[in-house]
Amino acid sequence: MKKILVPVDFSLTAENAANYATDLAFNIGARLELFHVFQLPVVSPVAASLVWPAEAYSQMEDDAKKALEKLLHKIEKKYEAAYHDYSLKPEVYAKVVYGEVDDEVYKYFTECKMNLVIMGLNSASKFSKILIGSNARKMIERHIPLLLIPGTYLFKKPKKIAFATDFSHSDISVLCALAEFAKTLNADILIMHTGHPASDQAGYKQKTEDFLNRVADRVNYRNIYHRQVNSERVKDGLDWIVENGQIDMLVMVHRKQGFFYRLFNGSYTLTMSDRIQIPLLVLPPEHRIPM
C-alpha cells in the first residue's frame, strides 16, 4: 500500500492539506500519516543561559499531542460524512516528533519508505506574491516527492496533470513514475514545454521529436499528450498553461540549474504569480518510485 506523509502545524492551511490528502488517499488506495514536528520556542542569545522549565515543556508536548489527535478525529469525521464505502477507507495515523521540520520529515520519509509528502501552501497575496513558505522551500531541497496544496484549494479528482519539461533525458524516468500515479486516477498527462523556437525552429523540432519518441518507447501509458507554449519567459508559459490548459495539477522537476531551479532561485527570487492556485507536485531528478 502506498503511504502519504502530511506534516501539520494545526493551521487552517495544514488542515486543508490533510483533507486533500485524505481524499487523494481514498482515490489511490493509500495509507495516510499526519506528522507534527514539535519545536521548542527559539531562545534569544541573551537568554541562552536560562533553563527551559520542564513543566512548560511537558505542557507544550501534551498540547501538541492533543491537537494532533483532535485533527485526526476531525478528518475521520469529515471522511465518514463524505464517503459511504468504508471498505476503501484509508488508514490514518498520527505521530509527534521533535526537531526541525525538514530534517524530521525527510528522516521519517526515508526510514518508513513513504511515497509522497503533502504540505499546505499559503496562498500568495497580491502584494508579496510569495508562493513558497520557508518549510516548503527546505523540503523542495530535500529532493523527495512533494505535493504542495494552496490553502483554499479543495480536492477534486485530477483529470489532467501537466508535466513541465525542458526535454532533459532524466525526465523520462520521472514520467514513468508519474504515469503510475496518473493510472490510479485515470488522469491525462499533458507534457508541456515553454520556449520560443523561432531562432532555431528545425533544431527545436528535432529535439521535441526525440524526446517524445523516448516517451513513447519508455512510458507505458496511453493518455499522454504534448503541447508547446510559446513564451520567452518560463514563468509566463507556466502561468498560461495553468490559466488556459484546464489542468488540475502542475508537475515540475527540481534539478540544479534546471528551469525550475532558475524560476525559484534566480531573478524571480522564489516567487511566482499568485494566479497559480492549483496543486504543485515537485519531483526530484530521475525519480523512479511511484507516488
- Express each pLDDT in 85-141 by its tens digit: 666 566 788 888 888 888 999 999 999 999 999 998 875 433 233 344 567 778 888
Residue of 258, 241, 237 whose CA lies nearest to 250: 241
Q: For 11-70, what is each residue's pLDDT tens digit? A: 899 999 999 999 999 889 888 999 998 876 555 455 455 555 666 667 877 888 888 899
- Domains in the chain (CATH in brackets) are 1-155 (3.40.50.620), 156-291 (3.40.50.620)
Does residue 161 carry a pLDDT above 90?
yes
Pairing state between β 116-121 and 249-253: unpaired
Predicted local distance difference test score (pLDDT) of residue 87: 61
Q: Which residue has the cell 496518473?
A: 182
> What is the pLDDT averaged over residues 255-259?
64
Per-residue model confidence (pLDDT) at position 248: 95
Do residues 234 and 194 touch, judged by C-beta distance below 8 A?
yes
